[in-house]
Homo-oligomer: A and B are copies of this chain.
Amino acid sequence: MGVKKIGKQTVRLSEGVRILAAASTVSKKEGEGPLGKYFDKIVEDSTFGEKSWELAESRFIRENMELVVQKAGLKMNDMDYLLCGDLLNQCTASTFGIMDFQIPFFGLYGACSTMGESMCLGAMLIDGGFANHTLVGASSHFCGAEKQFRAPLSLGNQRPPSATWTVTGDGAVVLGKKGNFPCITEITTGKIMDMGVTDANNMGAAMAPAAVDVLINNFQDTGRKPQDYDVIATGDLGEIGRGLVVDLMKKEGFTMDGRFTDCGIEIFDKNTQDTHSGGSGCACSAVTFCAHFYPRLMSGEIGSMLFIPTGALLSTTSSQQGQNIPGIAHGVVIEGCGEKEDK
């Protein structure tokens, strides 16, 4: 086994990779939610002045990535690699969002787990000695996602209670080597898990087994239990998916208590925002991490966190052809600034 591998699916970084800055740009509905005051930028018009939703998503990416690099006190040219992805066909939101930056680019597709995938690979590129700084992120857009995956919004289709609401926005972080910043210390990479769910309006159920797989492997590989983290946050399981994870983990002998939350639950107020089971989309975990968790890791309020963005690996074609909806999730262990010494 490689020296950094500490179990079947987990690696421990040599020195820890610092999260130098985090930025989130969202649209009106997200701004009206419980996390409204923590986002860096709220764009009232979800078309962002562009002529299509797809171009709007690219603009969310571009402006938010420019913002996070600026927040890190760096220049775009300081970024050795950029890693990101989105939900649109052929990841074009990312392509057109970042191409003007002219940074070596690795395009990712992990569905709504993409923020986890980009943080994992972005951190490993630094810890492996290939980069000083990486810029990583993920994005989604409610209107673009509905149009592509479900039905045109103007049809006014009813949404079942198990449905989630795709978050509009972009979340991005700059990773680096030095300074007293929250630190990525371990990575638990997920496998694709398929438990036979076929309902595209119940993504929480489709993704729950992937979150469980990452949780169990993280605990086995590190010897920890859920209570060893201050916060465990999945990406976009929503109310239903979170409940399933609690049940499934109980069967495995783990008690998931109040320190286990889900970004899809945090981002919207289900009682006033008509979002049913919660938020979803690549941006859900990305912006919730950047706006809600990062500042608390920075202040030391959160000492350690297991962040697990979750994704459902379907397309309209695979669903229409009757295939299951497999899920994937990636776990990122982050230590806050409280007890850690600056290296």
* Segment with Cβ contacts to B, from A29-37, A120-128, A291-299: A120-128
Is A103 within 8 A of B4, CB to CB?
A: no
Q: CA–CA, A47 to B106, complex, Å?
A: 31
Q: CA–CA, A125 to B105, complex, Å?
A: 16
Q: CA–CA, A110 to B9, complex, Å?
A: 25
A325 CB to closest chain B CB (Å) equals: 10
State which residues 164-202 of A face B: CB under 8 Å: 189-194
Which residues on the B side are within 8 Å of A132 (C-beta)? 1-2, 5
Which residues on the B side are within 8 Å of A70 (C-beta)? none
Is A129 within 8 A of B130, CB to CB?
A: no
Is A190 within 8 A of B104, CB to CB?
A: yes
Is A192 within 8 A of B109, CB to CB?
A: no
Beyond A108-B106, A128-B129, A130-B128, is A92–B318 a contact (Cβ under 8 Å)?
Answer: yes
> How many A residues touch the partner, as a band?
35 or more
Is B128 within 8 A of A128, CB to CB?
A: yes
State which residues 2-19 of A face B: CB under 8 Å: 2-5, 9, 11, 14
Q: CA–CA, A83 to B232, complex, Å?
A: 26
Is A88 within 8 A of B315, CB to CB?
A: yes
Q: Does A63 touch B at the CB level, under 8 Å?
A: no
Is A192 within 8 A of B313, CB to CB?
A: no
Is B95 within 8 A of A121, CB to CB?
A: no
Is A90 within 8 A of B106, CB to CB?
A: no
Among candidates B81, B190, B321, residue contacting A105 with C-beta atoms closer than 8 Å: B190
Q: Does A43 touch B at the CB level, under 8 Å?
A: no
Residue of B with least CB distance to A321: B52
A184 CB to closest chain B CB (Å) equals: 13
Which residues on the B side are within 8 Å of A273 (C-beta)? none
Q: Does A244 touch B at the CB level, under 8 Å?
A: no
Q: Does A271 touch B at the CB level, under 8 Å?
A: no
Q: Does A98 touch B at the CB level, under 8 Å?
A: yes
Beyond A2-B131, A117-B107, is A192–B89 a contact (Cβ under 8 Å)?
Answer: no
Which residues on the B side are within 8 Å of A96 (C-beta)? 318, 323, 326
Question: Hey, what's the 0/1 contact readout for A315-338 against B, CB within 8 Å counting as 1?
Answer: 111100101001010000000000
Q: CA–CA, A92 to B87, complex, Å?
A: 12
A280 CB to closest chain B CB (Å) equals: 14
Q: Does A99 touch B at the CB level, under 8 Å?
A: yes
Q: CA–CA, A125 to B121, complex, Å?
A: 9
Q: Does A54 touch B at the CB level, under 8 Å?
A: yes
Could you list 7 A-B pairs, sorted by A, with CB under 8 Å?
A: A14-B129, A89-B90, A99-B326, A103-B191, A106-B117, A106-B120, A107-B109
